[in-house]
Amino acid sequence: MRKVITRRSFLAGATAGTASIFVPRAAATRDHARLDEAAMQQSRAPMHFAQYHNQAANSSLHKRLTEMWSAVRAETGGKVGADVFALNNNLPGSDPAALKMLMSGEIQFFTLMGGVLGAAVPVAAIQQVPFAFRTAPQAHQAMDGPLGAYIVQEMAVKGIHGFAVGALDNGMRQMTTVAKPIVVPAHLQGMKMRVPASVMFNDVFKALGCVPVTVNSIDIHAALKSGKVDAQENPLAVVDGFKLYEVVKYVSMTNHMWSSFNQMAHLPTWQSLPADVRQVIDRNVTKAARAQRADQAAANGRLRAELTKRGLVFNDVDQAPFRKQLSGFYRTWKGELGTKAWSLLEQASGASLA
């Protein structure tokens, strides 16, 4: 049997200095691989998880999630940790595929906006009801209150743990286009609008006269560049983070929708954790959410000026005619989401939506 040379035996031989050691290159490569794997395993926490999200590695979301898990590891004395994967670890199928992995327990933590989460937890799509929230802080208050608590309750029914203060921020969404600005709903007629994999998004933009085209976030830049879509809609931080300013010209400040990154856990995994560990994670999720919301507000606030310098042309938009065109949409989705959820939404919004 070939003797495997361990790090300890190698160092012992080297320091003894009385014997020479020859290891064939292939064997040395295998041994180093074993040592690297052993070191990696030793550096990992006993309870080690995977955290996915769909934003770039330079985003505030990635930064705050990474800080969050570092804090969890420190506060648990190294017992709990996680690897944080930007862009969903380049997973084919992106958000929908990652959601399935979360629900099966293949990954244990994941952030996702309500519109896409609605495929598994229908009421979560209520976060994307257009013109429901005037500002991101108003939406945060709703998600930290009774409406958010109801969504968390419905997540649990589907095997997902949601957090009381777990709605990290994406921001207010704006329409960005290649060829012309959007001023009135007629300008959207026949426009190929990129949308995420969400029934609600599809219905919103059909009602506004667009041709919705489903494209995952990682592929938006390519879809705009190739002409697969004419426009997309996202907060300014996404326009910046995914370098969409390279392929669009106009930014119409519609503020038509707020969107979030809901931090979630695989429920059976969550329930298996000791109570004190759950408390540490929960506390740090709250801390990360509040810090990331502030980051995103600052970014979305400064980016109009910065993107203007990059050559993008901005225009402000009167929301009234767009909202009027969505009257049928509101009636339909009030029925889809149910009286309780819609009532909680209108209470948080401070306005009648249907």
| Residue 73 scores a pLDDT above 70 | yes
| Residue 72 scores a pLDDT above 60 | yes
The band of 312, judged by pLDDT with boundaries at 50, 70 and 90, is very high
The band of 43, judged by pLDDT with boundaries at 50, 70 and 90, is low
| Fold of domain 44-349 | D-Maltodextrin-Binding Protein; domain 2 (3.40.190)
Would you say the C-alpha torsion 86, 92, 95, 101 has a positive or negative sign?
A: negative
Mean predicted confidence (pLDDT) in 143-167: 98
pLDDT in tens, 98-139: 999 999 999 999 999 999 999 999 999 999 999 999 999 999
- Given this model, what pLDDT does residue 325 score? 97
Q: Who has greater pLDDT, 44 or 305? A: 305
Measured CA to CA, the distance from residue 253 to residue 225 in angstroms comes to 22
Mean predicted confidence (pLDDT) in 255-275: 97
Domain(s) of CATH 3.40.190.170: residues in the chain: 44-349
- Given this model, what pLDDT does residue 8 score? 33
pLDDT in tens, 155-166: 999 999 999 999
